[in-house]
Amino acid sequence: MFRDWLEWISQYWVSITLVMHLGVSLITSLHVLLYKENERTSLAWIGLVVLSPVIGSLFYWIFGINRIQRFAQKKHPGATKYEIPFQPKNIHFHNLPKHWHGALTSGYNIHPVNALKGNDVEPLFNGDMAYPAMLESINKARQHIVLSSYIFEHDSIGRQFVSALAKAHQRGVTVNVLLDGIGIRYSWRHSDRALKKVGIKTARFLPTISFTGIRFINLRNHRKILCIDGKEAYIGGMNVSKNNVIASANKPIDDIHFKVSGPVIDQVSQVFIEDWYFATGEMIAFPAFDQANDASSVKPVIAKVVQDGPDEHHNKVKWTLINALACAQSSVKIMTPYFVPDRVLMASLHAAALRGVSIEVMVPQKSNILFFDWVLEANFSRIIAHGIKLYKNTRPFDHSKIVLIDDVFSFIGSSNWDARSLEFNFEINLECYDPALNKKLNALFNRKKDIAKLVTEEEVLAKPIYKQIRNNLFRLFSPYL
C-alpha cells in the first residue's frame, strides 16, 4: 500500500505540486486583498505569491502579515492595564501660543492624557554625561528602580550598572530590569544573567525562544527607560554601552539622553509598568510622583509621553509628528540616525516646506547599517525637493533623535524616522513645550550642522548608474531593514 502511494506520488507529483500551489496562492491572495490597505503593496505581494510557487506564499506569511499588531493586542489587553488616577478629562493648553492648541487637541485624541506643566528636562550629551548621572541616581535610590533597555552590553559600562543595581538591591531597593529579547543578543555575554546572579529580578521582552508561542524578530522593545523612586527618570535614545563614552570608545557613538523630573514621570513609569506586565504577567507598584514635595513652580517644561508600538498605541508617534508639522510656522529641524519616512510623513514635510517653513534634516554620513545608507541615497532627490535641506553629519556615527519645531516644540526619545521604528518597535518619546529646552537643542543641532555636508542636487545627479540601481533596489526592501 505504501509503495503504491509512493508510486502514485512520483507519477503525478507535478500535478500535485500545481494543485497545492494554486490552492495556497489563492488563499494567500485572498488574505492580501482582505487585509492589505496599500494598493501597490498588495499588487506586489500577489505578484510574488503567484509567480514564485510556495516561496512567495511563505515569504508573505512570515513577513507580509502584521501579526505583530494582533499578537500584541492579544497579549496586552487594555482591560488589564494598570490605570493611574491623574489622567484629566479636559485638555489643558497651559497658555501656549494659540496655533499650538490644535496639536494639543489632536495629541489628546491620539493618546488621552494631558501634557503636564512643572517639569524639568535636562539634555545629557553622550555617555560621558548621561552614565554618571544615571549611576548617581541609582546610588541615591531608596525605594524602587525600573530600567528598560534595548541593548545592555556586558562591557565596562554595563558592569558599572550591574554593580550599582546590585548595591541598590542589597540595601533593600526593589529593582526590575527589562531587556529586549533581540537586543540582549548584541552582547556575547548576556547582562540579564549577571543581574540574576546578584538577585535582581529581570525579564526579557518577547524572548526569541519560547515554549509559550512563536516569537517574531520584528517585534522589539526599543524603549530606554530608567525611573527612580518616582522622583527622577531618564529617557532618550542611548543604550548601555561603552561605545557611547566618546572620550574612550574605539567605535564612538554620538547620542543624547534626557534627565526628567516633574509629574510627567508618572507617565514614563506607567509605560514600564505596562511593559513589565506584558512580559511577565506581574503587576508592580511603582511609587507615584510626589507633587506636594516638588518645587514645580521653577520647572518650566510642559511635557507628555507619547508611546508607540504594534498594539493599541500603533501610529501614535506618526500622527503626533504629522500634527506638529502642521503647526510649524518658521522652522523644523530633525536629527535622526535613520531617515526613511513613509509617503505620509514625507508629504507632511513637503507641505510645510511649500508653506515657507525652513526644513533641515541631519543624518549620519555613515550609519552602522550599510544598507540604510544606500536606501537614504536612493531617497536624496525626494527628500531635498521643495527646498528641504539634508545634511550629512561627519562626526562618528550619530544616534541622536530629536525634532525641533519653531522656538518652543521639542520631540525627544527613542523613535527613528523609519518603518521599523514607526511600525514594528515599541517606542517611548516625550513631547515638550519650552523655549529654553528648544534653544539648547537648537544649539546642538547648529554645532553639528557647522561640520556637516549639505547634500546638493549636483551630488545626486552625479551618482553613477550602478549605484543608483543598487540603492533603488534596496529601497524596495526598506520596510524590512
Q: Are 456 and 397 in contact (CB under 8 A)?
A: no
Q: List the one residue out of 37, 33, 47 whose CA is nearest residue 69.
A: 37
With respect to residue 144, please indicate whether it lies within any of the assigned structural domains: yes
With respect to residue 306, please indicate whether it lies within any of the assigned structural domains: no
The pLDDT score that the predictor gives to residue 52 is 78
The pLDDT score that the predictor gives to residue 87 is 47
- The reply to whether 342 and 384 lie within a common domain is yes
Which tens digits make up the pLDDT trace of 59-116? 777 666 655 543 444 445 444 444 444 444 588 898 899 999 988 999 899 888 899 9
Q: Are 184 and 190 in contact (CB under 8 A)?
A: yes
- The reply to whether 423 and 472 lie within a common domain is yes
With respect to residue 108, please indicate whether it lies within any of the assigned structural domains: no
Q: Are 223 and 428 in contact (CB under 8 A)?
A: yes
Residue indicated by cell numbers 524602587: 144
- Alpha-carbon dihedral angle through residues 9, 10, 12, 16, given to the nearest 10 degrees: 50
Cα torsion 273, 277, 283, 284: sign: negative
- The reply to whether 346 and 293 lie within a common domain is no
> Across-strand partners of 178?
148, 203
| Alpha carbon separation from 317 to 191, 258, 307, 308, 331 (Å, rounded) | 30, 18, 7, 6, 20
With respect to residue 242, please indicate whether it lies within any of the assigned structural domains: yes
Is 277 in a helix, a strand, or coil?
A: helix
- The reply to whether 123 and 250 lie within a common domain is yes
With respect to residue 310, please indicate whether it lies within any of the assigned structural domains: no
- The reply to whether 184 and 226 lie within a common domain is yes
Count of structural domains within the chain = 3
Distance CA 324, CA 438 (A): 14
- The reply to whether 413 and 379 lie within a common domain is yes
**What is the rounded end-to-end Cα distance, in angstroms, of the chain?**
50
- The reply to whether 256 and 291 lie within a common domain is yes
Which tens digits make up the pLDDT trace of 8-22? 667 766 676 777 777
Grid cell for residue 410: 521639542
DSSP code of residue 420: I
The pLDDT score that the predictor gives to residue 34 is 76
Whole-prediction pTM value?
A: 0.86
Q: Are 181 and 34 in contact (CB under 8 A)?
A: no
> Across-strand partners of 432?
303, 410
The pLDDT score that the predictor gives to residue 277 is 93
Query: Final residue of a domain: which of 251, 275, 301?
Result: 301
With respect to residue 308, please indicate whether it lies within any of the assigned structural domains: no
Strands (E), 45-127: 116-125
- The reply to whether 175 and 293 lie within a common domain is yes
With respect to residue 106, please indicate whether it lies within any of the assigned structural domains: no
**What is the CB neighbour count within 10 angstroms for residue 109?**
11
Distance CA 295, CA 117 (A): 12
287: phi > 0 → left, psi -120 to 50 → alpha, else beta; which?
Answer: beta
Strands (E), 65-200: 116-125, 144-149, 174-180
With respect to residue 311, please indicate whether it lies within any of the assigned structural domains: no
Domain encompassing residue 54: 2-65
- The reply to whether 357 and 454 lie within a common domain is yes
CA 341 to chain centre: 13
- The reply to whether 151 and 294 lie within a common domain is yes
The pLDDT score that the predictor gives to residue 450 is 95
- The reply to whether 336 and 232 lie within a common domain is no
Write out residues in the chain with pLDDT < 50, as ranges: 69-75, 77-88, 211-215
The pLDDT score that the predictor gives to residue 144 is 97
For residue 56, count CB atoms less than 10 angstroms from its CB and return exposed for 0-12, middle for 13-18, buried for 19 or more.
buried
Distance CA 363, CA 474 (A): 18
Query: Final residue of a domain: which of 277, 301, 325?
Result: 301
- The reply to whether 347 and 247 lie within a common domain is no
424: phi > 0 → left, psi -120 to 50 → alpha, else beta; which?
Answer: alpha
**What is the CB neighbour count within 10 angstroms for residue 51?**
10
CATH code assigned at 271: 3.30.870.10
